[in-house]
Structure 1
């Protein structure tokens, strides 16, 4: 057979190169197309996974219908533990404290007010009753604890954190200013006995209390034993009465006061808010609260400002509710310490808070931008004649509506203790975020010894106060 003829390069010198180039472009185009298809598939898959994670993480916990918080006022001990959802949450063990630190304080409060039938005694309403809501929350069943980031465990060996449910703030007011009240109850004695009891607990001694959580909402709560409990995560209203080596934002948590007036449920707007600025509270306070009297002197002559003295009473709360619900702005000066309950009354009233307190710390600032819901005025500026009223008169109606919209968005989840997915869950969320730091400090403690140095202590990880612990 005749061999097939081979094309002569001399006859068409570019033919082979052209063919090769064409083939190369074809394969390159196919590769690019294939690569684009693969990238599209990968990106689509990633997008689907991200959506799945988002809906599972953020939306699923709120799918369950809300349930009321103990409408019958009875604390239940039946707690469901062990579900798949619970396994992924921070595990909290709540101590079964002797009754002298819980129910006994409630009874002492009732006894000081003339009650002898303790079967009907309930935790009384007051501005620092967050401690009650946390205790009540951990006594609910897991099905009732909508969206909680923590799960209660009954075996302390399983626990990440330990909650000490002492009613330290209520203890302070058992006998306060009540002539003839039974003086058998002593807050100081309660504090001393609490520390004695804790120091006998193996889990307290194990890590020097660092993995324990204690509510001390009132600025004077546990003042006598603060040095003995300062390693714990303290739930505080502010840092006004604790030293830098006792409390800090790193270790502890600022929690909101329980508001004492009714929440505003009307429409947004200024039509029914005819008062420019409102304040009703104790005119004379100590320490940083001395500014109140100065502000009274400056503002009480302003025509569209209502500022008057008033103490906590049922009648005054009704008057404060009317005043806050019909005012555009609510004045919030410092009390005896940088914070005061009036701020939280103003927030739930959608009355734009005007905060005059240079050292105030606020709850949940990792998720709340307070500049969107409040006006901050420096103490020195607020005392300039005519400055404060003039500043507020210059705020437009549109801006006030923006403040009100932002306030309405944050009220139920962050400032309502009675909401099933409200302030209590947010407190537990922030407590849970402390866990890595707690573990870090526990592990540091295992290798360090304290040294008696002359330098002042600090409120974080005090490396200048420690030395190495020699061990094998």
Structure 2
């Protein structure tokens, strides 16, 4: 048989290789966008974010609340809103979110939401009423004018809530989806209590479900927020050498409802060795003592307050003091990204109040295990820092953005549902707002 010639295929291959070489020589590839090293197309990134519109509420619902709070405490009037200072307290999330949305979008590159100025472009609507501050505008003892001996404050939180809803319910965007695409912050357990049934369709930003009914709030549609911590963040490294105390707690001994367990815990713990448990109300000196105690203790006790959550949990987290959570129905923020079993110890209430039981449990935790807790605490600490650009505010908006698919589902469902005569509320959009069970370490 005649031999096959390989000349033609060889010449063809050589030609192809030459073309590839020339292409490589003269072609400059477009850089692939990389968040760490490459070019970022900001417009393209913004298109992927959830578009949120912040209502330009009448002043009485924002800066006016701050002004009334200051006036009720003898503060001086200021000429510009920019000079008003939001009082620092555990419910200041409402101020941080308001301030964040007032920043230019280019300063919020990594946020899950982008603010739009035209409500027609929006997917969500944020209502920036300072509901928690409004609740406490009037001090327990109203401020008194020295010349007249009459209270100077006539602010009414109830009337302010009603006025907010009267204004909001006239807005076309509220009416369009029955408020489902509106976001409210009501972090204090009693915030918005007067109108809660009128806003329950919306996304509620809350600290727990302690005062909310099953048909008002749930993990499905709402977002759990951390309280703003009151004590200074621990700046040191992990370790137990300088943490001489086994367990620390400082706070009100006597609370209402769920917080009744505090008095029982005082009774079983106040005489235990290496345990510091003190009664104390909020004050500058109390915060100083709490900072010192949390920074020098291995474990920090977190019993329920008037509701399942309390700010001391977040004080402990930023102190790298391992929280010991004694609150059977607590909800915790950002649980899709934080495994609290790695940073906390959960003890059910019935076990915690048995004499000697809690202390014995904590003494049995090895030094190595405590260091593991502290390492994890250091990793997630930013989630509880409202002032960290990569911290709490950014995570709250991520959580809010994740509610959009459900909002669209329920809004569309509402429009096609036949009117029904229900014997009980329709909770089909809600999930668990129920008592949970926690296990011991």
1:372 equivalent among 320, 325, 342: 342
- CA deviation string 1:397-432 (max 9, x = no partner): 1000000000000011x1111011211110100111
- CA deviation string 1:267-317 (max 9, x = no partner): 210111001000001111111100000000110001210001111111111
Which residue of the partner structure matches residue 8 of structure 2? none
Contact 2:243 2:297 in 1 (8 A): yes
Cα–Cα, structure 1 residues 461 and 316, in superposed 2: closer, same or farther, change >3 Å?
closer
2:50 equivalent among 90, 96, 110: 90
Which residue of the partner structure matches residue 75 of structure 1? none
| 2:406 is aligned with 1:437 | yes
Counterpart mapping for 1:398-409 below 5 A: 398-409=368-379
Cα–Cα, structure 1 residues 63 and 166, in superposed 2: closer, same or farther, change >3 Å?
farther
Task: Report the Cα offset of residue 385 of structure 1.
Answer: 1.0
Contact 1:95 1:163 in 2 (8 A): yes
Q: Secondary structure at the match of 2:52?
A: strand
Counterpart mapping for 1:7-406 below 5 A: 56=34, 59-60=35-36, 83-119=43-79, 120-180=83-143, 181-406=151-376
Contact 1:62 1:146 in 2 (8 A): no
Distance 1:329 1:262 in 2: 17
Contact 1:62 1:147 in 2 (8 A): no
- CA deviation string 1:293-345 (max 9, x = no partner): 00001100012100011111111111100000000000000000010100000
Q: Secondary structure at the match of 1:223?
A: coil
Contact 2:219 2:430 in 1 (8 A): no
Q: Secondary structure at the match of 2:264?
A: helix
Distance 2:293 2:39 in 1: 37
Which residue of the partner structure matches residue 6 of structure 2? none
**Bigger shift: 445-454 or 261-270?**
445-454
Distance 2:110 2:429 in 1: 31
Distance 1:301 1:266 in 2: 30
After superposition, the CA RMSD in angstroms is: 2.0
Cα–Cα, structure 1 residues 235 and 461, in superposed 2: closer, same or farther, change >3 Å?
closer
Contact 1:146 1:420 in 2 (8 A): no
Distance 2:76 2:308 in 1: 38
Cα–Cα, structure 1 residues 282 and 146, in superposed 2: closer, same or farther, change >3 Å?
farther
| 2:415 is aligned with 1:452 | no
| 2:388 is aligned with 1:428 | no
Distance 1:256 1:439 in 2: 27
Which residue of the partner structure matches residue 46 of structure 1? none
Which residue of the partner structure matches residue 41 of structure 1? none
Contact 1:195 1:225 in 2 (8 A): yes
Task: Report the Cα offset of residue 96 of structure 1.
Answer: 0.3
- CA deviation string 1:231-258 (max 9, x = no partner): 0000000000011000000110101100
Contact 2:295 2:320 in 1 (8 A): yes
- CA deviation string 1:60-80 (max 9, x = no partner): 49999xxxxxxxxxxxxxxxx
Distance 2:257 2:412 in 1: 39
Distance 1:60 1:145 in 2: 16
**Bigger shift: 179-188 or 358-367?**
179-188
**Bigger shift: 144-153 or 242-251?**
144-153
The total of aligned residue pairs comes to 391
Q: Which one has a bigger Cα radius of gyration?
A: 1
Distance 1:369 1:226 in 2: 31
Distance 1:197 1:61 in 2: 48
Task: Report the Cα offset of residue 459 of structure 1.
Answer: 6.4
Cα–Cα, structure 1 residues 340 and 459, in superposed 2: closer, same or farther, change >3 Å?
farther
Task: Report the Cα offset of residue 130 of structure 1.
Answer: 0.5
Contact 1:92 1:159 in 2 (8 A): yes
Distance 1:63 1:368 in 2: 31
5+ unaligned residues in a row in structure 1: which ranges?
A: 5-51, 65-81, 463-472
5+ unaligned residues in a row in structure 2: which ranges?
A: 2-30, 144-150, 432-441
Cα–Cα, structure 1 residues 61 and 422, in superposed 2: closer, same or farther, change >3 Å?
farther
- CA deviation string 1:15-36 (max 9, x = no partner): xxxxxxxxxxxxxxxxxxxxxx
